[in-house]
Chains A and B, each alone.
Chain A
Amino acid sequence: DGGITQSPKYLFRKEGQNVTLSCEQNLNHDAMYWYRQDPGQGLRLIYYSQIVNDFQKGDIAEGYSVSREKKESFPLTVTSAQKNPTAFYLCASSYDEGMETQYFGPGTRLLVL
């Protein structure tokens, strides 16, 4: 069964803590993306990666970091520098960065304690 998985479904962060959101895909897609969604707002791009060991900042990268050590995996770390991390985080993938059709995972809701 091909698709994108994200874990956990819900994540709680304490003040000053770094947390990592997992994203895995078995679609053999080259490009992967992280978006943030706030209520009533569209998706905003945090980071994207076209190939393994390479990634670029999106529109709102400050306070976030990523890695792309494997084609299937693109974890996102929300660092303590991100002062307003409460949001719904969505991971997506596509065949390549030039391909317009992106497929999304089920999302992770991050809440601050």
Chain B
Amino acid sequence: QKEVEQDPGPLSVPEGAIVSLNCTYSNSAFQYFMWYRQYSRKGPELLMYTYSSGNKEDGRFTAQVDKSSKYISLFIRDSQPSDSATYLCAMSAGNMLTFGGGTRLMVKP
């Protein structure tokens, strides 16, 4: 079993939909959680960073961490075609990052 699990998708939604992306993990020592967005053939860019449990909001993006369930989510409101990309979750216990495999999202006009 992988340390971080992420549904590879693809996830296809119409423009304007609310998107929910998720990761589960097994290492209870993880306390730093990140979401990266990666466009095709580009490097990942940091979207959201959260420490421990709780919610964090930034514009149309909301990151949620539930440490008791070992489950993190990224919500995208009013999704746009420009949100079409692969979303990678990453987490750390304070040293190296462990990445999920990524979920490919397609937002159709």
Contacts and interface: CB of A to CB of B under 8 A. Distances in A.
B41 A43 contact: no
Interface stretch (A11-19, A62-70, A73-81, A102-110): A102-110
B82 to A, nearest CB: 18
B51 to A, nearest CB: 8
Contacts of A98: 94-95
Contacts of A42: 4, 6, 88, 99-102
A45 B45 CA distance: 17
B57 to A, nearest CB: 18
Nearest to B31: A100
B75 interface: no
Contact of A103 (B42, B46, B88): B46
Contacts of B42: 106-107
Contacts of A4: 43
Interface residues of B, number: 23
Q: Give the interface SS of chain A, mostly helix, strand, loop or mixed.
A: loop
Nearest to A41: B101
Contacts of B32: 100
Given A42-B4, A45-B97, A100-B32, 15 more contacts: A6-B43, A40-B101, A43-B44, A43-B88, A45-B96, A58-B96, A90-B43, A97-B95, A98-B95, A101-B49, A102-B97, A104-B36, A104-B43, A106-B43, A107-B41
Closest 6 A/B residue pairs (Cβ): A104-B43, A42-B99, A100-B32, A42-B101, A43-B99, A100-B92
17 contacts: A40-B8, A41-B101, A42-B6, A42-B99, A42-B101, A42-B102, A43-B97, A43-B99, A90-B44, A98-B94, A100-B49, A100-B92, A102-B46, A103-B46, A104-B43, A104-B44, A109-B41
